[in-house]
């Protein structure tokens, strides 16, 4: 085990889309990861997904020839997180769920261990209050998939300590990520801009002004949006998008953040995007 592996031992809590993505990124950089989820079948799927993502990343040249992938350990309890140098909470976009995880992890970890909430919309200071040491709580918003998108939004809460920021910066450097630090607010920068725009794009389809492909093609070819807002919604996960929009609406009162009926209907139908095989588009796995 080399010095960098000794220095960085990550625990990722939550084996959903972003937990899998962040874990894959760390393994590609040769770092050891403990991936925790309460559901063993979810962990089993995650292990298969991570293996597939690692193969894809290697084919795309994202793993250096002289770098071995890091070791992966999975668990259904948080006990192993006590030895982590940094914990990333990547659970669903629900304040209660995230707060419960951070409170439990805070009781386990050594003082000085950054507790990172990977969130797209929930203000970090709302989460910091549940930790034994609020200064250790900081936010990140990794983009999906993290091993292809090197820039990560970092959210500094009003109580986040300078030592926490320095430790997170060192870990992100080891992960090959470029942090952009922003102030704490609902949705921060990316979600506050992007998610209402996706909501509007879905509303245009709902109203019959244009079809899904027409909306995405116009946004891609006329305005330079890389994947189009509705294909992006499928990548984010429409259920996650609705949760994020609800957080934004509750905290800002902005009617543009109230999830439109089409998004809500897709969630009710289980059409969550790429991860479910169907969203605005249909996918084969």
Helix (H, G, I), strand (E, B) or coil at 151: strand
| Mean pLDDT, rounded, for 45-51 | 96
Averaged over 84-106, what is the pLDDT? 97
| Of 97, 126, 115, the residue nearest 186 (C-alpha) | 126
Structure tokens at 91: 């659970």
Query: How confident is the model over 58-66, as a mean pLDDT?
Result: 75
Domain boundaries, the chain: 3-183, 191-275
Quickly state the pLDDT bin for 65 (edges 50, 70, 90).
low
Token pair of 90, please?
Answer: 């990547």
Mean pLDDT of the chain: 95
Task: Name the β-bridge partners of 273.
Answer: 278
Inter-residue contact 229 to 216 (CB < 8 Å) = yes
Q: Please confirm, yes or no, whether 271 is among the known catalytic residues.
A: no
Alpha-carbon gap, residue 44 to 231, rounded angstroms:
27
| Domain 191-275: CATH architecture, name and number where available | Orthogonal Bundle (1.10)
Least Cα distance to 28 among 8, 54, 51 occurs for 54
Q: Say what the pLDDT of residue 242 is.
A: 97
Identify whether the C-beta of residue 153 lies closer than 8 Å to the C-beta of residue 180.
yes
pLDDT digits (tens, 9 = 90+) for 4-22: 556 899 999 999 999 999 9
Q: What is the model's pLDDT at position 3?
A: 46
| CB distance 279 to 234 below 8 Å | yes
Task: Please report which helix (H) or strand (E) contains residue 15, including its range.
Answer: none
CB of 200 within 8 A of CB of 256?
yes
Burial class (CB in 10 A: 0-12, 13-18, 19+), 198: buried
Catalytic residue, chosen from 141, 195, 271, 272, is 141
pLDDT for 1 beyond 50: no
Is a pLDDT exceeding 60 seen at residue 268? Answer: yes
Q: Is 130 within 8 Å of 6 (Cβ atoms)?
A: no
Q: Taking phi first (over 0 means left), then psi (-120 to 50 degrees means alpha), and beta for anything else, what does residue 68 get? A: beta
Q: Do domains 3-183 and 191-275 have the same CATH topology?
A: no
Task: Give the confidence band of 59 by pLDDT, cuts at 50, 70, 90.
Answer: confident
pTM of this structure: 0.92
CATH class of 3-183: alpha beta
């Amino acid at each position: 085990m080399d010095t960098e592996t000794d220095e960085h031992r990550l625990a990722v809590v939550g084996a959903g889309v972003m937990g899998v993505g962040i874990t894959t990124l760390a393994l590609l950089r040769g770092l050891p990861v403990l991936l925790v989820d309460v559901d063993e079948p979810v962990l089993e799927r995650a292990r298969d997904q991570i293996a597939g993502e690692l193969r894809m990343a290697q084919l795309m040249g994202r793993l250096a020839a002289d770098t071995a992938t890091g070791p992966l350990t999975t668990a259904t309890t948080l006990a192993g997180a006590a030895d982590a140098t940094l914990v990333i909470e990547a659970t669903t976009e629900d304040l209660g769920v995230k707060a419960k995880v951070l409170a439990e992890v805070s009781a386990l970890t050594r003082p000085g261990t950054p507790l990172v909430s990977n969130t797209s919309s929930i203000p970090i200071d709302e989460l910091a209050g549940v930790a034994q040491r609020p200064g250790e709580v900081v936010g990140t918003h990794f983009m999906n998939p993290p091993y292809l998108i090197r820039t990560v939004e970092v959210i500094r809460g009003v109580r986040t300590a300078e030592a926490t920021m320095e430790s997170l910066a060192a870990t992100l450097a080891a992960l090959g990520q470029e942090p952009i630090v922003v102030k704490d607010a609902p949705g921060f920068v990316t979600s506050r801009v992007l998610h209402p725009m996706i909501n509007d794009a879905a509303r245009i389809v709902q109203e019959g002004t244009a079809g899904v492909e027409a909306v995405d093609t116009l946004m891609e070819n006329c305005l330079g949006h890389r994947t189009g807002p509705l294909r992006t919604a499928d990548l984010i996960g429409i259920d996650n998008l609705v949760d994020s929009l609800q957080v934004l609406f509750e905290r800002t009162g902005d009617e543009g953040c109230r999830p439109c009926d089409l998004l809500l209907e897709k969630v009710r139908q289980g059409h969550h995007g790429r991860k479910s095989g169907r969203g605005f588009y249909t996918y084969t796995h």
